[in-house]
């Protein structure tokens, strides 16, 4: 089909507007031509090291200009990037590399001593003599571009396949909602290994728009660059937006700034009220790795009148709410949020059975609960019951429980989220110990730190005699959550 094929995004962008600024990183500024030239060189070096089209290759890098160049080099070669969260432990990383059959791992010195297989160290890569790379001048929209892992109720993470088309349509859907202005500039202070960050790179080349890339979020640096780099749009999560708002005091954001794109769960009322007061235009949104970023977005004019709503689905997307019996929910009635659109993943890597379970006829069953109001605005009541969002990172209780249950002294374990002033939510674990065990909280923390990224380690451990389970022995996580709410320690 004709609709399938398009020029390679960065190649085309460098051809159309070679002299436009592509990226600001610290004191460096690259045009699209310069970005292309560096990605092209790097593609030549990667090819020299035997990377080839259609391979899966792990990428474990900090957010950095080099990372941007490497990610685009992989697109030029037609290599599928398995983009790894750099806060994971060696065990977690190895699992994802094995699962994705990664032919190589591109990483950097800082991460090179974890004993991961088939490493290409960035610092050494750049010193390699390049050869002339075979560039994929044309791409198919249905071809896989990136893999990002996400967990689920089963404990094991699954690789979400994001095609070029998913990224393309996500960028276009966002553009039709936010507009594309001549002077747009997007600040990226979210990780490139998350879809929130990676999608900014794609928008940059598709729109021909500069981005300001920060290695991590710093509130002073953010405010400085919003003014100096004339940033118009920024992606934030609740925790970062809170820090910006708190830091602003009397002054307001510069006039050219037009959009705080807020992801990672609904925002608390006081925060939104403060934003209105300080004239900060907040676009709340709902999305996930499987939708290649936002799929539902709320415009600022509705941020108070539709408080708590995630908005309406972007132009190319559709949404429905389904009851447990498979019927469509009527207006106002909660059910599972089901989404469809060309930005929705075609499935999970090497897991056709999970794909078939989650995606029916193009409709993705998110597991999240919500309802549509009379005007069709989406209200997300609960991210899937097993999901904890902590400072923008997703944490899956089942994954933590599997780790805890591997401890010889633990007979049962249940994990839930608890509220936290700084991170929104953090995980808490309920533990049933073997009779006579002297296992302490300190030992448990260390046990987890050895196996889980630090942000996943439970911030609270509660020893209890039994866990709440239903007749089918299914863990009732919501009950655990109530226990915490009640402030009760069940030991």
Report d(CA 74, CA 369) in Å as an integer: 37
Phi, psi of 101 (to 5 degrees): 55, 40
Count of residues touching a copy of itself (by CB under 8 A): 38
Which position has the token pair 């981005």?
A: 211
| Residue 127 burial (CB count, 10 A) | 9
**78 touches a copy of itself by CB under 8 A:** no
Q: Which of 10, 12, 59, 296 binds a copy of itself (CB under 8 A)?
A: 12
* 87 burial level (CB within 10 Å; 0-12, 13-18, 19+): middle
CB of 172 to a copy of itself, least distance (A): 6
Interface with a copy of itself (CB under 8 A), residue from 207, 302, 350, 365 = 207
Which residue in 11, 228, 45, 44 sits closest to 124, CA to CA?
45
**Which 412-431 residues touch a copy of itself, going by CB under 8 A?**
none
Applying the rule CB under 8 A, the residues between 80 and 119 that interact with a copy of itself are none
Q: How does 104-116 read in b/e, with b if 16+ C-beta sit within 10 Å? A: bbbbbeebbebeb
55, 156, 318, 385: which one contacts a copy of itself (CB under 8 A)?
A: 318
Distances (CA, A) of 22 to 43, 44, 369: 19, 21, 39
CA dihedral sign, ordered 25, 30, 32, 33? negative
Token digits of residue 447: 């046990």
User: Taken in order 324, 329, 334, 337, is the CA torsion positive or negative?
Assistant: positive
Q: Which stretch binds a copy of itself (CB under 8 A): 6-14, 25-33, 111-119, 450-458?
A: 6-14
290 vs 336, which CB is nearer to a copy of itself? 290
Query: Which DSSP category does 469 fall into?
Result: B
Say if residues 195 and 243 touch (Cβ distance below 8 Å): no
In the bound complex, what is the minimum distance in angstroms from residue 168's beta carbon to a copy of itself?
A: 9
* 3-class secondary-structure state, position 336: strand
**Looking only at residues 42 through 71 of this chain, which bind a copy of itself when binding is defined by CB under 8 A?**
none
Query: Which of 394, 389, 375, 363 is closest to 289 using CA atoms?
Result: 394
Minimum distance between the CB of residue 179 and a copy of itself, rounded to whole angstroms? Answer: 5
CB 400 within 8 A of CB 241: no
H or E element at residue 9:
helix 9-16
Among the listed ranges 51-59, 63-71, 87-95, 335-343, the one in contact with a copy of itself (CB under 8 A) is: 335-343
Closer to a copy of itself at the Cβ: 148 or 172? 172
> DSSP character for 307?
T
Pick 175 or 453: Cβ nearer a copy of itself = 175
Asked if 181 touches a copy of itself (CB under 8 A), the answer is yes
The answer to the question of residue 352 lying near a copy of itself (CB under 8 A) is no
Instruction: Pick the piece of the chain touching a copy of itself (CB under 8 A) from 309-317, 415-423, 434-442, 474-482.
Output: 309-317
Does residue 206 interact with a copy of itself by CB under 8 A?
yes
Among 110, 114, 175, 219, binds a copy of itself (CB under 8 A): 175
- DSSP class of 88: S
Q: Please state the closest distance from residue 5 (CB atom) to a copy of itself, in A.
A: 6
Query: Binding to a copy of itself by residue 439, rule CB under 8 A?
Result: no
Is residue 188 classed exposed, middle or buried when 0-12, 13-18 and 19+ CB atoms within 10 A define those classes?
buried
Residue 139 contacts a copy of itself per CB under 8 A: no
Which uninterrupted H or E stretch holds 202?
helix 195-207
Which residue of 346, 351, 384, 490 would you call a contact of a copy of itself, by CB under 8 A?
Answer: 346
Per CB under 8 A, does 320 bind a copy of itself?
Answer: no
Binding-site member from 27, 182, 324, 374 for a copy of itself (CB under 8 A):
182
Q: Per the structure block, which two tokens stand in for 194?
A: 């998350």
Q: Which of 406, 386, 395 is nearest to 459 (CA)?
A: 395
Question: 371 vs 447, which CB is nearer to a copy of itself?
Answer: 371
Indicate whether 283 belongs to the interface with a copy of itself (CB under 8 A). Answer: no
Burial class (CB in 10 A: 0-12, 13-18, 19+), 129: exposed
Q: How far is the CB of 16 from a copy of itself (least distance, A)?
A: 6
* Chosen residue from 58, 159, 165, 191 binding a copy of itself by CB under 8 A: 165
Among 54, 123, 138, 273, which residue sits at the site for a copy of itself (rule: CB under 8 A)? 138
Stretch that binds a copy of itself, among 8-16, 27-35, 101-109, 424-432 (CB under 8 A): 8-16
- Options 127-135, 143-151, 311-319, 468-476: segment touching a copy of itself (CB under 8 A): 311-319
From 247-255, 315-323, 330-338, 444-452, span contacting a copy of itself (CB under 8 A): 315-323
Q: For binding to a copy of itself (CB under 8 A), which residues are involved?
A: 1-7, 12-13, 15-16, 138, 141-142, 165, 169, 172, 175-176, 179-182, 206-208, 312, 315-318, 340-342, 344, 346, 362, 376
């Amino acid at each position: 089909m004709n609709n399938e094929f398009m020029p390679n995004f960065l190649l085309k962008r460098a051809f159309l507007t070679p002299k436009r600024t592509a990226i600001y990183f610290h004191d460096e500024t690259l045009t699209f031509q310069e970005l292309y030239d560096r990605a092209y060189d790097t593609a030549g070096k990667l090819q020299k090291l035997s990377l080839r089209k259609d391979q899966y290759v792990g990428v474990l890098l900090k957010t950095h200009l080099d990372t941007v160049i490497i990610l685009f080099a992989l697109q030029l070669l037609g290599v599928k990037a398995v983009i790894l969260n750099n806060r994971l432990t060696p065990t977690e990383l190895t699992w994802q590399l094995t699962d994705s059959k990664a032919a190589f791992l591109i990483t950097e010195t800082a991460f090179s001593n974890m004993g991961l297989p088939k490493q290409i160290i960035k610092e050494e890569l750049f010193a390699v003599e390049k050869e002339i790379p075979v560039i994929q001048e044309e791409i198919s929209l249905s071809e896989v571009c990136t893999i990002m892992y996400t967990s689920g109720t089963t404990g094991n993470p699954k690789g979400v396949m994001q095609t070029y088309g998913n990224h393309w349509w996500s960028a276009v859907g966002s553009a039709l909602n936010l507009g594309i202005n001549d002077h747009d500039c997007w600040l990226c202070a979210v990780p490139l290994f998350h879809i929130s960050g990676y999608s900014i790179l794609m928008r940059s080349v598709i729109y021909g728009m500069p981005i300001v890339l920060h290695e991590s979020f710093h509130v002073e640096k953010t405010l400085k660059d919003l003014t100096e780099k004339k940033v118009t749009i920024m992606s934030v999560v609740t925790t970062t937006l809170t820090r910006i708002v708190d830091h602003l005091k009397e002054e307001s954001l510069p006039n050219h700034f037009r959009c705080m794109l807020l992801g990672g769960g609904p925002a608390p009322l006081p925060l939104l009220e403060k934003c209105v007061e300080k004239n900060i235009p907040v676009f709340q949104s709902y999305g996930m790795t499987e939708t290649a970023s936002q799929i539902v977005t709320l415009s600022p004019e509705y941020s108070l009148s539709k408080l708590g709503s995630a908005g309406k689905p972007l132009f190319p997307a559709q949404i429905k709410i389904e009851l447990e019996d498979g019927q469509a929910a009527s207006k106002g009635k909660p059910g599972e949020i089901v989404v469809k659109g060309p930005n929705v993943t075609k499935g999970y890597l090497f897991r056709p059975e999970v794909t078939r379970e989650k995606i029916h006829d193009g409709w993705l069953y998110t597991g999240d609960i919500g309802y549509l109001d009379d005007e069709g605005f989406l209200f997300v009541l609960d991210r899937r019951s097993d999901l904890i969002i902590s400072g923008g990172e997703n944490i899956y209780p089942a994954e933590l429980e599997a780790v805890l249950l591997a401890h010889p002294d633990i007979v049962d374990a249940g994990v839930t989220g608890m509220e936290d002033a700084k991170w929104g939510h953090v995980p808490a674990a309920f533990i049933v110990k073997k009779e006579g065990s002297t296992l302490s909280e300190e030992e448990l923390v260390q046990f987890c730190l050895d196996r889980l990224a630090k942000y996943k380690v439970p911030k609270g451990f509660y020893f209890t005699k039994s866990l709440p389970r239903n007749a089918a022995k299914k863990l009732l996580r919501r009950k655990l959550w109530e226990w915490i709410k009640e402030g009760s320690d069940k030991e």
